[in-house]
Amino acid sequence: MSGPVPPPAETRSGFVALAGRPNAGKSTLVNSVVGDKVAIVSDKPQTTRREVRGIATRPDWQLVLVDLPGVQRPRDPMTERMQHSVERALGDADAVLFVLNGEQQVGKGDRFIARAIRAARVKAVVAVNKVDRLSRQRTIEALMAAEGLGIEGEIFPVSARTGAGVPELVEHLVTLLPVGPFLYPAEDVTDLPERVHLAELIREQVLLRTRDELPHAVEVELGEVVGREDGPLEIEAYLWAEGESQKAILIGAGGRMVKAIGTAARKELQSTFGRRVHLDLRVRVRKAWRKDDALLDRLGIG
C-alpha cells in the first residue's frame, strides 16, 4: 500500500497584475487560467471597476492574477480611483502581464501602459489576445507590433476564449514567481467578498443588455442577503442609475428590461453558487453617484 504523497520540495507563489486597454480580454483570460468564473465579462469599457484576484493553484505553485480596470484617462472620481488602483497594483506585483487585443492596432493607450510598466521596473510578459480571430499573417503583424512597445519580456499569442496558448503562458508566468508558501488556501479561486461577487454577476447582465452611456452610469448595490441551508438564497439588490431617463430604460416598457435582467442574473447566480436563488431587483436613481466618495467606498471601488 502506497503512503501519502509528499508535498513538493519547493513551491512558488505570487501576484501577477494584468494591465491593458478596456476590452483587451483580461477578465476572460483570468477566468481561463483559474478554470472558474471569477471576473465578469462583456464587450463594454469599464466592465472591471475593482481589482479582482483570480487564484490558480497546482501542487507546486499558486498564481494570483490581479484583473485590473482597463487603463484610461480619468474622467470623474470613480475613474480616478480605478486608475490609482492600477498604478498601485503595478508597483506591488511580482510581475505584470500586459494584454493586447490582437484585433486592434497598437495605439496611444497601449504605448501609455507600456511606459507605465517600464517605469514600474517590474518583470513583464506580453500576451497578444484573440489570435483565434486572426489570420496567420495578421497574427505575425500583431506580434511584431507588440515587440515594438519595448517591453523586455516574452510575447505569447493566445486566445483566452479557446484556451490556445494559455498553458504555455501560465508555465512561463510561474517561473517569474518568487519561491515561497501559498498565499491563499488551495481550494480558493478568488478573494472577492461574496457580496461583491453577487453584485458583479448581476451587473454583468446589465452590461449585456444595455448600450451607449448607460453601462457607465449603472452600478449594483446589494441590500439584504439571506440564505439557509435548506432554502434558497434570497437577495435584495438595487440598480443605481444617474437619472430618470436611465431608470426608465432599465425598467423598460411594462417592466420587461428589469425582468429580463433579473431572470438572467438569477440563472447565473444559481449556476455559480449551485443553489436556488430568489432575486428582488429594484431600480433607483442616485444622481452623480460616480462622484459620491462614500458610496464608492461602500461599493469597494478603488
**DSSP assignment, residue 19?**
E
**pLDDT tens for each residue of 54-103:** 999 999 999 999 887 655 555 666 667 666 666 777 778 999 999 999 99
**Grid cell digits, residue 47:** 466592465
Quick one: average pLDDT of 284-298?
Answer: 77
Yes or no: say if 221 and 240 are a contact pair by the CB < 8 Å rule. Answer: yes
Please give the residue that has the higher pLDDT: either 228 or 157. 157
* Block residue for cell numbers 417592466: 255
pLDDT above 90 for 35: yes
Extract the runs of DSSP E, i.e. beta strands, from 130-193.
Answer: 155-157
**pLDDT tens for each residue of 166-211:** 999 999 999 999 999 999 999 999 988 888 889 989 989 998 888 7
Cα–Cα dist 221/39, whole Å: 17
Quick one: average pLDDT of 255-262?
Answer: 95
Cα–Cα dist 18/126, whole Å: 10
**pLDDT tens for each residue of 140-154:** 999 999 999 999 999
pLDDT at 79: 65
pLDDT above 90 for 125: yes
Percent of the chain at pLDDT > 70 equals 85
Residue type, 194: E
Residue type, 222: L
The size of the chain, in residues, is: 302
Residues facing 284 on adjacent strands: 240
pLDDT at 88: 75
DSSP 100-142: EETTS---HHHHHHHHHHHHHT-EEEEEEE-GGGS-HHHHHHH
Question: Considering only CA atoms, which of 144, 15, 9, 147 is closest in space to residue 89?
Answer: 15
**Grid cell digits, residue 255:** 417592466
Cα–Cα dist 185/242, whole Å: 40
Cα–Cα dist 99/19, whole Å: 6
**Grid cell digits, residue 286:** 442616485
Per-residue buried b or exposed e for 144-157, using 16+ beta carbons within 10 Å of the residue's own CB: ebbeebebebebbb
Domains of the chain: 12-175 (3.40.50.300), 194-299 (3.30.300.20)
pLDDT at 228: 77
